[in-house]
Structure 1
Amino acid sequence: MAAAGAAADGESPGQRPRSDIVELLGAAPQGFARAMLPRPFRFPGDHGAHNDFRSEWWYYTGNLATGGGRRFAFQLTFFRFALSPQAPVRASAWASNQVYMAHFAVTDVAGERFHAAERFSRGALELAGVEADPFRVWLGNWQASAAGAFFPQTLRADDGGYAIDLRLDGGKPLILNGDAGLSQKSAEPGNASYYYSIPRIAVSGSLATPDGLWQVDGAAWFDREWSSSALAADQVGWDWFALQLSDGRDLMVYRLRSRDGGTDPHSAGTLVEASGQALGLGAQDFILDELDHWRSPGSGARYPSRWRLRVPGAAIDVEIIPEIPDQELDLAFRYWEGASRVTGTSASAQVSGHGHVELTGYAPGGVVMPR
């Protein structure tokens, strides 16, 4: 399968049919590398593509504000999918077994507006791709790039009057999630990913909406995963939270949901102290309660829309509230991903904070991307 409809600059004129995405994600993992055991991570190489695995992503989210306090948020994610374990043996410069997809979204909190867009391209002719050193991932003119080392980086994307031009200056150290970077998603061997994060990154630059252009600053979160697996047969989706607290702590947890409505025991997370020290969390280490719900007028999906999250061992008890209810991306993958605010206690002291929440597997006809 090629990225049909991709224009010469790497942009797709419309959404890719969901049937094609289902076919792509449903491909058997035979012949692809699997995440079986912990491995040494080597940088900058591991910032680049791992083409022997079926899929991976480079995931940026951030919460921003103007000097006057007007708040925005963004998501910019690049996905790579391998169509087959081996590259095609053809002379054509168009030939590639790699397909790229990118999602771009902006939340205008004061304006109560959310805008999301996607693009597709094959990984050929410089239309889309990844380079490790110097780092660059791009699809058309949407890109994250660094002149040398991984930071500082520049993020650029635009669609429909919305745009970001942001500088990322680094922050907390890179952390490995799970077992030294091996994130097990079910009991089946190989049903896992390699997963690392940079949980707090200083951001500054400009953000545009149809109403105007603003100078902004704030904090971003960077996630990296690659794998050849999908969710297990008894798993239906996940609820993922990345929170940056005012006391300097950062918290990532994901709840894998079982078909019976329960929490899969392979749910997990990572707590990062203000010092950068990381502590892995298992399903038994956090309690997530849904406090409210919201029904999408577009898809009809009923999503959780407010939560209480407790990590008793770290004395964390917070409430998470979406900045605006409707942050559903009705794209080739239909899911909810949005900016949220946080209030509560951490280490028994009052805290506030911001973060992003990702909810998959709720929408009729939606496709669950393996996390």
Structure 2
Amino acid sequence: MSADRISRRALAGGIAALTLARRAGAQGYAGLGESADGFAKVVPGKTFTFPGDHGPHPEFRIEWWYLTANLVDSRGAACGLQWTLFRQAAQPDPQREGWANQQVWMAHAAVTRTDTHRFNEVFSRGGVGQAGVVAKPFDAWIDDWELKGFDRTDDRTLAPLALKASSTDFSYALTLDADRPVVLQGDRGYSRKSERGQASYYYSQPFYRAHGTLTIDDKPVDVSGQAWMDREWSSQPLDTDQTGWDWLSLHLASGDKLMLYRLRQKDGRDTPFGNWISAAGETQMIAGGDIQMIPRATAEVAGRKLPVEWQIAIPSRSFSILCKPLNPKAWMGTGFSYWEGPISFAGTHEGVGYLELTGY
């Protein structure tokens, strides 16, 4: 591909990102509270179909394919990685062709150890083949970053998959496998975000087993562990008075999984949500009043004070843990900046997971 084609793509992506950033200022974190007139609405009662819902939903304004992995290297040292592909529509349907296409693609990749946190961000416009997602055979890509299925990939489990990303000072290549189907979050995949109707469609594959190679500063190591992928799409996932969220995905040593988040509001009220996922893949929503998420320690990162240690309790399940970060400096200094990194936890239950903090 010519340098002119690449520069045009980069310029278009950069302009689109700046436009979205300007719009975001008065509409909550990353503009996700902005009015979504003309876009499709999220309503209860959707019937999910696979492989179709593994692919893009351009009639909605925003969606993502979001993967995190808790790994250990061949010496037993903990590390983590992130791979995320975002699609945002600048305008509703109908879809236009080529460079006029209104889809903006953005991706983040990161690796984290106790001694370092590396990240990169790339952009592309839709319509020119530089980024996209195909449901069957599954393929999600932007440039040479890719999450790709095989001929034998099962639509129910979305596995196995091959994952890769690279930057100037890190890269990784993993194979992901799972033997249980994806699970619907919230109320059968309808994830309510506010009392005024904001919501998303949301499912996860929290049962990935991962193995492959992680390279930092040209030093490759073999890694293995657990991974979790979230799939979510909406047109207005936040209300205008919601400033961000604190989100956790937890792999319990028992084999159970737990997804928790709280949405923060300008008036100081927080709304918690959660799903308990059994080792067999059965899900149960957790009542917001039964979730306690209490920050216990902060870290100074990028000029911000961030709550990186959390006490989490679910009294109805006799569940009480303290979560600590692998690296408190896991700041994603991307266009829409946030904190994202691996954690470990202990208490009534033990395990590892990922913490995300936005809007700080």
Q: Same fold (TM over 0.5)?
A: yes
Partner residue of 2:286 out of 281, 287, 290? 281
Give the TM-score normalised by the residue count of structure 2. 0.90
Shift of 1:261: 2.3
Instruction: Give the corresponding residue for 2:340.
Output: 337
In the superposition, relative to structure 1, how do residues 355 and 12 fare at CA in structure 2: closer, same or farther (>3 Å)?
A: farther
Asked if 1:260 corresponds to 2:267, the answer is: yes
- CA offset at residue 223 of structure 1? 0.2
Q: Secondary structure at the match of 1:204?
A: strand
Q: In 2 relative to 1, CA 256–204 (structure 1 residues): closer, same or farther, beyond 3 Å?
A: same
Q: Superposed, which structure 2 residues align to 1:244-259 within 5 Å?
A: 244-259=251-266
The secondary structure found in structure 2 opposite 1:7 is helix
AA in 1 matched with 2:281: G
Residue number in structure 2 paired with 1:366:
none
The answer for the alignment partner of 1:174 in structure 2 is 182
Aligned to 1:36: 43
Over 3 Å counting, the alpha-carbon distance change for 1:13 and 1:210 in structure 2 is farther
| 2:133 maps to 1:130 | yes
Query: What pairs up with 1:1-371 in 2 under 5 angstroms?
Result: 7=6, 18=18, 20-23=20-23, 25=31, 28-87=35-94, 89=96, 93-109=98-114, 112-148=115-151, 149=153, 150-189=158-197, 191-210=198-217, 212-264=219-271, 267-296=272-301, 298=302, 300-346=303-349, 352-362=350-360
Q: CA-to-partner distance for each residue in 1:131-155, whole Å, 9 max, x for gaps?
A: 0000011100001000232311000
Q: CA deviation at 1:173?
A: 2.7
Q: Percent identity?
A: 37
The Cα offsets for residues 107-165 of structure 1, whole Å up to 9 and x where unpaired, read as 022xx100111000011221000100000111000010002323110001001220110
- Superposition RMSD on alpha carbons, in Å? 2.1
Is 1:15–1:331's contact at 8 Å kept on the other side of the alignment? no
Cα distance in 2 for residues equivalent to 1:13 and 1:208: 30
| Structure 1 residue 10 displacement after superposition | 6.2
8 Å contact 2:324–2:345 — kept in the other structure? yes
Q: Deviations over 1:206-251 (max 9, x none)?
A: 1100050011110000100000004223321110000101111111
For 1:263 and 1:176, locate their aligned partners in 2 and report how far apart those are by CA, in whole Å.
23
Kindly indicate which of the two structures has a greater share of residues assigned to helix: 2
The 3 A distance-change label for structure 1 pair 359 and 18 is farther
Are 1:186 and 1:192, in contact at CA under 8 Å, matched by a contact in 2?
Answer: yes
> 2:27 maps to what in 1?
none
Q: CA deviation at 1:318?
A: 0.8
- Quick one: which amino acid aligns to residue 286 of structure 1? I
Matched-pair contact (CA < 8 Å) for 1:12–1:119: no
Contact 1:136–1:143 (8 Å) recurs in 2: yes
- What is the one-letter code of the residue matched to 2:338? Y
Change (3 A) 1:263 1:89: closer
Q: CA offset at residue 67 of structure 1?
A: 2.5
Structure 1 residue runs without a partner (length 5+) = 347-351, 363-371
Deviation at residue 22 of structure 1 after TM alignment: 3.8
Structure 2 SS opposite 1:147: strand
- Quote the offset at 1:13 in angstroms: 11
Residues 246 and 89 of structure 1, relative CA distance in 2, 3 Å threshold: closer
Matching residue's letter, 1:175: V
Asked if structure 1 preserves the Cα contact closer than 8 Å seen for 2:12 and 2:125, the reply is: no
Contact 1:142 1:158 in 2 (8 A): yes
Describe the SS at the equivalent of 1:179: coil
Distance in 2 between residues matched to 1:223 and 1:166, nearest whole Å: 17
CA contact (8 A) 1:204 1:218 kept: yes
Change (3 A) 1:302 1:132: same
CA contact (8 A) 2:339 2:357 kept: yes
CA distance in 2, matches of 1:9, 1:71: 40
SS at match of 2:178: strand
Question: Which residue in the other structure is 1:367 paired with?
Answer: none
